[in-house]
Amino acid sequence: MEIKRIPVLSDNYVFVLSDPQQKVAAVVDPAVAEPVLDYLAEIDAKLVAIFNTHHHFDHVGGNQKLVQHFSEVCVYGGAEDRGRIPHQQVFLNEGDQVEFADRVGQVFFIPGHTRAHIAYYFSPTISGEAGELFCGDTIFAGGCGRLFEGTPAQMVSSITKLRNLPDNTRVWCAHEYTLNNLKFAITVDYQNVDLQHRYQEVQIARSRGIATVPSLLGIEKQTNPFLRWDSPAIQATAKMKEPARVFGRIRGMKDQF
């Protein structure tokens, strides 16, 4: 399974999964259709699946046009998003599986950013290889999504599921927010040497127009404050220790940053 990252809108990423041998493709969170259609034409692939993580328009805005071009495409989304994702046909719950090419994707129900958010994790087929996590707007490189429809407790529970995946999991988040996320992270975890090094590396990368997605989950565990509510440094900044309260305090600080 090959993965193509396509930048769209101001800071979104759309991910196209492809199987060159079978000439088929799937797309994750198509904000817009045109760049996806152009790439599918370039690789001569038929679109067979749309994997949506949640209903926000900058994740489903391309569904309509893609379905018009590929009438047999299957549109997947969370069961709780029924009626909110255009052309949704499959309604997924925690523990369900999806298949594409030679890979099986595990579905995680991860409410918080929205009440119906899901993620897709494609485990590696060969030992030692990286798994692929498509987590929408739940975990970002260096940050996390806003709580539009969920609570801090829900988000802690959701991120815990993802945090338990292997460290070499590649995190395909849907926005290029990394530099600003790390600017904030340093203000709440300023003695974290790993974070300081990462911030310097990202500054250089972004100055050269280099994407920071995918990230590695192991790096997020070391440097992303929203995966570190049990870190003494983050607890000291929040002035509390209960996970949901720590997370809520840090998220509130980021909202005002």
CATH code assigned at 38:
3.60.15.10
Omega into 214 within 30° of 0, i.e. cis? yes
Considering the candidates 29, 81, 117, 175, report the single residue annotated as catalytic: 175
In this prediction, residue 125 carries a pLDDT of 80
Active site residue 59: yes
Position 235 in a domain: no
Active site residue 56: yes
In this prediction, residue 11 carries a pLDDT of 96
Position 190 in a domain: no
Active site residue 19: no
* The total number of structural domains that make up the chain: 1
Considering the candidates 29, 81, 96, 137, report the single residue annotated as catalytic: 137
pLDDT, mean of each 10-residue run, the chain (257 residues) = 96 97 97 98 97 97 98 96 98 97 95 98 85 98 97 98 97 97 97 97 97 98 98 96 97 96
Considering the candidates 55, 56, 96, 189, report the single residue annotated as catalytic: 56
Considering the candidates 29, 59, 96, 117, report the single residue annotated as catalytic: 59
In this prediction, residue 47 carries a pLDDT of 98
Position 89 in a domain: yes
The helix-helix angle for 152-163 and 243-255 (nearest 10°) equals: 100
What is the reported pTM? 0.96
> Which helix (H) or strand (E) is 63 found in, with range?
helix 63-69
Active site residue 175: yes
In this prediction, residue 186 carries a pLDDT of 97
Position 194 in a domain: no
Listed residue (89, 98, 90, 94) closest to 117, CA to CA: 94
Position 90 in a domain: yes
Give dist(CA 241, CA 228) in Å, integer: 11
Considering the candidates 29, 58, 81, 96, report the single residue annotated as catalytic: 58
Position 137 in a domain: yes
8-state DSSP, 148: S
- Domain extent at residue 154: 2-177+212-223
Q: What are phi and psi of 84, to 5 degrees?
A: -115, -15
7-28: string of b/e by CB count within 10 Å (b at 16+)? Answer: ebeeebbbbbbbbeeeebbbbb
Active site residue 55: no
Position 34 in a domain: yes
